[in-house]
């Protein structure tokens, strides 16, 4: 549709130039004004001429009437003026012929804006904390981040996916103490991250008990934990060996989830990697006179920008998150020479990113405006906040396992082969969770209720995947050699062609707004248009040869676009369900 809108805008621009004078409105300005009327009886595309009245110094009604007589396009069956609107009605057959022809000729590149060639995007997402569970709270950064990577790759960018592991910090001092007191290697190797979590929860509870029992709220275990982390920072080999093992055990567990989601990262460089890269940035801040001492801590004052101070060093000289993020950004710019660096994290971290982005700007790095924070809302479980320390989490592996199990029970009736049934269940079960999450605008807070996520009724992932499988089935029965002909089309066929035509616009919007839910909503629109067409129009049994050919082509185009769209939101496209 965007192609037709652009063509229409050029024709209107020429008409404006001819009838009202040169240099008044560009085709780009007119294209931005074109809209889709709420009632198709008014037209398929419309230009509200009220916005032109001041520029052209004529009434909207007069402008619309003048332009209606001058704009001629073979893909429009009529161009009329009504109450200050210039309304265009599309010629269904000519329009569908062009759209479907473009889809089938471009294949899996249809819809790509092709705007990223020669440009690099670095995406920082997922990034779980080592030795902690991969739970529902990580789903947002993981699937939003990967969808944004897929969208940018689709647009032609070279993308670098970075899993910035939380593999450093005082929590490792706690874990080392807990392991030395209560853990053993065999139990951890058998239980994996779950056992590490038990140790982490146990020591936090023990520290809390000590603090509550002490008059001065002191905890010997907390002191011991800080001491062990200090040893780790200073290169104690015993603690380093334990730390490396904790990281390995954690990654092995996380990879199982990434495999289900079809996610691979280009880098797993975590916080620890930047330990030796922070001093240079701190020194640069100091030499530039940006560092101030506040109660013993080193800060950058951001009062001018209505933000709290940005902490760079604690009183004891240890670094903080902003220090590590600045060092990481400098390294990534040097390593990848990115045109854009995207960080996908909770909206709760928005101030943190605004602060260190500003510090990067003050440091004179001219790429500061290439840093993008993509925030998303919080997830709670039945209204309760997630908390690793208390164990109030839903593990992603358990969530996916339950979804897969439920689908497997249903699929077993149609697919007695266990391997085939399992493969379908994994695609649909995991897809149901992903689709449920990405159905929402990313800034919306989600109260996660298991039953809602695993529902297979209504506008869900299984519905979208079932529609894709239906297109495959239709093409197996009817053949896949159809092409669009000049046969007259019904409203159902025309509406499907229009749904196919807006895919490039939706891709552009999803990339511009960093919003995968734009694609999710599009998938539902396309699936609904195809299913109406499927129920109202005979395809394999159509007796009119030319019309049957057009319907097969429409089905084939739907399968292509639906498969591409599902891929862009981290979902697979099963041929059978």
What average pLDDT does range 151-162 have in this prediction?
A: 98
CA distance 542 to 532: 16
Strands 291-294 and 45-48: unpaired
Which tokens belong to 403? Answer: 């979804």
Q: Is 326 helix (H, G, I), strand (E, B) or coil?
A: helix
DSSP-assigned letters across all residues of 389-415:
TTTB--BHHHHHHHHHHHHHHHHTTT-
- In this prediction, residue 480 carries a pLDDT of 81
Condensed to tens digits (0 to 9), the pLDDT of residues 452-465 reads 777 777 889 999 99
What average pLDDT does range 438-464 have in this prediction?
A: 83
Residue 473 CA to its chain's centroid (Å)? 30
Confirm if 548 and 478 have CB atoms less than 8 A apart.
yes
Condensed to tens digits (0 to 9), the pLDDT of residues 214-265 reads 888 899 999 999 999 989 988 999 999 999 999 999 999 999 999 999 999 9
Pick 365 or 74 by higher pLDDT: 365
pTM of structure: 0.90
- In this prediction, residue 119 carries a pLDDT of 98
Q: What is the DSSP letter of 49?
A: G
Average pLDDT, the chain: 92
In order of their start, the domains of the chain are: 2-90 (3.30.1360.70), 169-245 (no CATH)
Share of the chain above pLDDT 90, in %: 73
- pLDDT at residue 392 greater than cutoff 60: no
Q: How far is CA 498 from CA 41, 468, 548, 556, in A?
A: 15, 18, 19, 15
Condensed to tens digits (0 to 9), the pLDDT of residues 107-144 reads 999 999 999 999 999 999 999 999 988 888 899 999 99
């Amino acid at each position: 549709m965007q192609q037709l809108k652009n063509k229409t805008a050029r024709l209107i621009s020429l008409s404006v130039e001819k009838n009202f004078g040169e240099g008044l409105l560009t085709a780009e300005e007119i294209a931005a004004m074109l809209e889709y009327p709420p009632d198709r009886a008014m037209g398929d595309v419309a230009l509200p001429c009220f916005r032109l009245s001041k520029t052209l110094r004529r009434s909207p009604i007069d402008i619309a009437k003048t332009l209606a007589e001058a704009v001629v396009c073979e893909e429009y069956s009529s161009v009329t003026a009504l109450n200050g609107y210039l309304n265009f009605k599309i010629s269904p057959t000519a329009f569908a012929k062009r759209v479907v022809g473009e889809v089938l000729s471009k294949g899996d590149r249809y819809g790509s804006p092709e705007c990223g060639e020669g440009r690099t995007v670095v995406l920082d997402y997922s990034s779980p904390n080592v030795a902690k569970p991969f739970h529902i709270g990580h789903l947002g950064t993981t699937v939003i981040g990967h969808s944004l990577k897929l969208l940018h790759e689709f647009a032609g960018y070279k993308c670098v996916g970075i899993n910035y592991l939380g593999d450093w910090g005082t929590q490792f001092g706690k874990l080392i103490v807990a392991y030395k007191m209560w853990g053993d290697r065999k139990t951890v190797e058998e239980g994996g991250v779950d056992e590490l979590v038990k140790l982490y929860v146990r020591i936090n509870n023990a520290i809390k008990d000590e603090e509550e029992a002490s008059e001065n709220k002191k905890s010997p275990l907390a002191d011991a934990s800080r001491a062990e982390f200090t040893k780790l920072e200073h290169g104690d080999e015993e603690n380093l060996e334990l730390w490396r093992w904790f990281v390995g055990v954690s990654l092995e567990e996380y990879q199982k989830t990434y495999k289900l989601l079809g996610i691979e990262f280009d880098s797993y460089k975590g916080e620890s990697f930047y330990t030796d890269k922070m001093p240079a940035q701190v020194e640069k801040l100091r030499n530039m006179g940006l560092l101030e001492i506040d109660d013993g801590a080193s800060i950058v004052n951001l009062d001018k920008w209505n933000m709290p101070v940005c902490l760079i060093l604690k009183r004891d000289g240890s670094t903080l998150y902003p220090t590590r993020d600045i060092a990481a950004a400098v390294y990534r710019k040097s390593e990848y020479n990115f045109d854009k660096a995207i960080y996908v994290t909770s909206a709760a971290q928005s101030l943190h990113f605004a602060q260190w982005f500003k510090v990067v700007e003050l440091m004179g790095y001219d790429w500061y405006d290439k840093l993008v924070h993509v925030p998303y809302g919080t997830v709670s479980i039945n209204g309760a906040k997630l908390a690793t320390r208390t164990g109030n989490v839903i593990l992603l592996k358990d969530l996916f396992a339950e979804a897969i199990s439920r689908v497997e029970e249903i699929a077993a009736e149609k697919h007695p082969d266990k391997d085939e049934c399992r493969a379908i269940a994994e695609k649909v079960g995991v897809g149901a969770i992903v689709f449920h999450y990405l159905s929402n605008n990313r800034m919306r807070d989600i109260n996660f209720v298991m039953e809602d996520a695993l529902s297979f009724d209504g506008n869900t992932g299984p519905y979208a995947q079932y529609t894709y499988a239906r297109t495959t089935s239709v093409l197996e029965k009817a053949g896949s050699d159809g092409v669009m002909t000049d046969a007259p089309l019904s409203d159902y066929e025309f509406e499907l062609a229009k749904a196919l035509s807006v895919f490039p616009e939706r891709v552009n919007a999803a990339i511009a707004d960093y919003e995968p839910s734009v694609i999710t909503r599009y998938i539902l629109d396309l699936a609904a248009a195809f299913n109406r067409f499927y129920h109202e129009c005979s395809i394999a049994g159509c007796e009119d040869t030319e019309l049957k050919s057009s319907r097969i082509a429409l089905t084939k185009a739907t399968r292509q676009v639906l498969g591409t769209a599902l891929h862009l939101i981290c979902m697979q496209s099963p041929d059978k369900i």
